[in-house]
């Protein structure tokens, strides 16, 4: 997993089992699609509300114009019919919203993997 927080960059190595365990709270998430749209990074995005097994809900905007070949990397949103472009998550007691600012179709160099 590659993450960037401002100028800081992190790489976290995980096995498939680690990845699944880290994302187990998203197992069985059910999405309700809303008739609400907005443009993010030049793509038309639709709103969906995901409900997890424990009743927690998360809002996400996704685009059907982009679909990843590997759906596992976006574990919480892998059942959406497109790519999540904006979503919220909780870090401790804070609710954080992540929004795609740019889409780059270039291959990630091996030096960054």
DSSP state of 26: G
Which pLDDT score, from 0 to 100, does residue 104 have?
Answer: 83
Which pLDDT score, from 0 to 100, does residue 73 have?
Answer: 66
pLDDT tens-place string over residues 54-89: 888 889 999 999 887 766 667 788 889 999 999 987
- First-to-final CA distance of the chain: 9
Q: How far apart, in Å, are the Cα atoms of 40 and each of 23, 37, 62, 78, 89?
A: 25, 10, 9, 19, 18
Does 7 map to a domain? no
How many domains, in total, are found in the chain?
1
Q: How many CA atoms lie within 13 A of 94 on its CB side?
A: 4
Look at residue 52 and tell me whether its pLDDT is greater than 70: yes
Does 52 map to a domain? yes
Does 82 map to a domain? yes
Does 113 map to a domain? no
pLDDT tens-place string over residues 5-41: 678 887 778 888 887 887 788 888 999 999 999 999 9
Domain range for residue 97? 28-104
Which pLDDT score, from 0 to 100, does residue 102 have?
Answer: 87
């Amino acid at each position: 997993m590659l993450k960037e927080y401002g100028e800081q960059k992190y790489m976290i190595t995980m096995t498939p089992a680690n990845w699944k365990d880290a994302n187990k709270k998203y197992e069985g998430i059910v999405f309700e699609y809303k008739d609400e749209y907005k443009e993010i990074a030049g793509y038309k995005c639709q709103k969906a509300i995901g409900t997890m097994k424990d009743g927690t809900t998360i809002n996400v905007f996704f685009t059907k114009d982009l679909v990843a070949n590997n759906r596992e990397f976006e574990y919480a949103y892998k059942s959406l019919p497109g790519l999540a472009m904006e979503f919220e998550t909780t870090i401790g007691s804070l609710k954080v919203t992540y929004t795609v600012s740019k889409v780059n179709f270039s291959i990630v160099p091996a030096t960054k993997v």
